[in-house]
Amino acid sequence: MKFHKEGYASLIIVLVFSIILIFIGHHFFPTYAIAQWFAYLLSAFLTLVIVQFFRDPTREHTLDHTLIIAPADGKVVVIEETVENEYFKEKRLQVSIFMSPINVHINRYPISGTVSFFKYHPGKFLAAWEPKSSTDNERTTIVVKHDSGKEILFRQIAGALARRIVWYVKEGDKAEQCGQMGFIKFGSRVDLFLPLETKLNVKIGDVVRGSQSVIGEM
Provide the annotated active-site residues: 188
The Cα–Cα gap between 187 and 28 comes to 36
The Cα–Cα gap between 185 and 200 comes to 28
Question: Which amino acid, one-letter code, is at 45?
Answer: F
* φ and ψ of 138, to 5 deg: -55, 135
Q: How far apart are the first and last CA of the chain?
A: 31
The Cα–Cα gap between 75 and 31 comes to 48
Handedness of CA 1, 53, 154, 93 (dihedral sign): positive
Going from the C-alpha of 34 to that of each of 24, 38, 40, the distances in angstroms are 13, 6, 10
Going from the C-alpha of 209 to that of each of 67, 102, 154, the distances in angstroms are 14, 13, 16
